[in-house]
Chain A
Amino acid sequence: MILLQVVVSGLLMGAVYALFSSGLTLIWGMMNVVNFAHGDFVMLAMYAAFFAYTLLHLGPAVFIPGAALLLFVLGVVVYLGLVRHIARGPMLAQILGTFGLALVLRYAAFWAFSANFVSLPDTLVGGTFELGGLRIEASRLLGGVLALVITIGMHLVLTRTMLGSRVLAVAEDRQAAMLMGIRPDRMQALAWGVGAASTGIAGALIALFFYISPTVGESLALIAFVVVCLGGFGSVPGALIAGLAIGVIQALSAYLIGAVYQDVVVFALFLLVLWIRPQGLMGTL
């Protein structure tokens, strides 16, 4: 029974991982650029949610879309101002560019919000209830389910709509897409916006049940990288499966070995997989 409880909470967390990893995978698969500031995007969204609640007394129904909008704008701005210029440059420049951005965001948050941990009240969404013998926090349930729905929605938009197929066409072959009259720059800006917006939603959802601090993005980013590598670059379904798997593995190792080792298990597993299959679990690269 306890094991089931652990697995369920792992799945709920995993759905949120899947959501913010889909943003990363979209960008990565699309233009082969890694956003090292991805975790710090999550952190910003968490603070946005926190201040929306504490200063403006806005509820989740407002601050979740609000965070999405804010991050959409940030994503587009970062693309136009920085990423567009470094995307086809040397590897080192790509890494430095987004890593530098990560440092600026992280330590600006340190400066502005102090290093203290803050959190939203537990009771903001429901509290805890029992379901068939399982104790589930309403905030985590909301987070997990909403994340799942949005991730699947993103996949459907990408694969079933005109706009989605244009985005994928640019990812597939920039030149060919241009010949078909698609403007790659716009599509890539859009992908950055959407990727960041999904990260924004994920951040606001995590804020409902997780502590918030300037460095929280660091460990979340590593998780996202693991999820993307395992799920295959550019694959939203891959991110979904890998995200859920990582959530469960973390929860199980925290329960069986101890909470400090949950990330050790994840990273060790990640390295192991990379060594056995350098192209990722589901990747074809």
Chain B
Amino acid sequence: MKQWPLVLLGFVVIAAWPLLTSDVFLQRLGALVLLSAISASAWNLLGGYAGQVSVGHSVYFGAGAYASLVCFTHFGWPPIAGAPVGMLVSMLIAAVVGTPTFRLRGHYFSMATIAAAELARILAANVPLLGAAVGLMGPPVPRSAWDLSFISPIPYHYLFLAVLTLLLALTWQMQRSKMGFYLAAIRGGDRAARSLGVPVLRYKLYALLLSAAFTSLAGSLYAVMIGFVDPDSGLGILISVKMVIVAALGGAGTLFGPLVGAIILIPLEETTNAMFGGSGTGVTFIIYGAIIVLIARFRPGGVADLWHSLITRGRRGAARGA
């Protein structure tokens, strides 16, 4: 990769962000961008790299969010202690749901993931243990530092940055290894991949397990920061859709695509929410919808694709100049 200096610069800016401003809105924005980048990067492992477009990842996000607050509500644990529980549960769900759904191709797969997510949402809304339609709350006042309950968004910013860095490092490693090549082959076509000895089902499952675990972690982090989850905020279809949009805008199947997507979309969302108040969600999603229609129509590769064509054009220009 020849873009290391740029990556380093980006990292420094993101790391310094909350210290550059004293505006809490902007500090909070930084944390939310990172959180969204985590969940979209997690989705990207399966949806981007392996090309299996899941529109049901809210199941894993919700599992993480609920696990944290269930552990708090029923056992009095600090919410973050529920994160590994959520990751385990998510991987279990992934193994049970994923194995059969992977035999489905293309749209069938997406359809099945939506149905599974919707099933989970309706069930959660009717199980008293999960707070039913009302949802669950985190600790109202921090009992100890382990509750990770802060007024300032800054600690969350660094917590999320650490997780995102870990996830991206892992993804980078994966992308360069046999698994990365195999997932790309699967995205290119099951049939050809299998003819070259790629155990397609097994690798799809690996990607899903990894993806589910990190999506769940994102859910737990969300619950830790916001201190509340209900069926819509944890398991709603829009949660899944947002992961897809963020990743696709930046560039699905690229390392930094989801982060770039989050940097563009989350400020947009928060600004419209702040501007339009309660009806802001509506406006946000009209804009979201319009953006993805435009991506699909004109730039299916997202910003990453645009970037590449700009670079190659630049190089060609330079070569001509020389």
Contact = CB atoms under 8 A, between A and B. Distances in A.
B103 A278 contact: yes
Central interface residue in B100, B123, B288, B300, by most chain A CB within 10 Å: B300
B186 to A, nearest CB: 12
Interface in A259-278: 260-261, 263-264, 267-268, 270-271, 274-275, 278
Contacts of A278: 103-105, 108
A94 B296 contact: yes
Closest 4 CB pairs of A and B: A103-B289, A97-B296, A100-B292, A104-B289
A225 B112 CA distance: 10
A270 B118 CA distance: 12
Q: Interface range on chain A: under 10, 10 to 19, 20 to 34, or 35 or more?
A: 35 or more
A111 interface: yes
Interface stretch (A85-93, A150-158, A167-175, A197-205): A85-93
Interface residues of B, number: 48
A263 B116 CA distance: 11
A104 B282 contact: no
Given A103-B241, A111-B282, A268-B119, A95 B297 contact: no
Contacts of A82: 293, 296-297
A97 B293 contact: yes
B283 A111 contact: yes
Given A94-B296, A97-B296, A103-B285, 11 more contacts: A89-B300, A90-B300, A91-B53, A97-B292, A104-B290, A107-B283, A110-B279, A111-B286, A222-B118, A264-B123, A271-B115
A274 B285 contact: no
Nearest to A258: B126
Given A107-B286, A229-B108, A218 B237 contact: yes
B285 A264 contact: no
Contact of B100 (A110, A111, A225, A275): A275
Interface in B220-242: 237, 241
B52 to A, nearest CB: 9
B51 interface: yes
